[in-house]
Amino acid sequence: MEKKEKENGGSVAPLSARMRDLRASNKFWFSVAMSDSWSIDAVYWAALDEPGAEVLDNVLKGEMEAFVEMKMEQLDAYNAEY
């Protein structure tokens, strides 16, 4: 692609450079996922997931546990009422 762009000339930033930037920054994968909604999960796990990123610090873990506890209490209240 770069070879053809050089042959054609032009004053606009070449598409190949923009494509390379998208690929290097992983933004490319967002476009792939959005173009086919059925592939979002597969694209995420194959290209975007960063192992270890799921580790929560103690503050977030405490907030999450409190939220889950609140939701379980709401579920119990709902089940008791109906």
Neighbouring CB atoms inside 10 A of 24's CB total 9
pLDDT at residue 30, rounded to an integer:
78
pLDDT at residue 11, rounded to an integer:
65
| 39 plus 70 within the same structural domain | no
d(CA 72, CA 41): 28
| 4 plus 37 within the same structural domain | yes
Contact 33, 39 (CB under 8 A): yes
| 38 plus 57 within the same structural domain | no
| 38 plus 60 within the same structural domain | no
Dump pLDDT digits (tens) for 2-56: 788 777 876 677 888 888 888 888 788 877 777 877 878 888 778 777 777 767 7
Predicted TM-score (pTM) of the model is: 0.39
Tokens 């990123």 — which residue?
53
d(CA 49, CA 45): 5
**Full residue range of the structural domain in which residue 72 is found:** 52-82
d(CA 4, CA 42): 33
Q: How many domains does the chain have?
A: 2
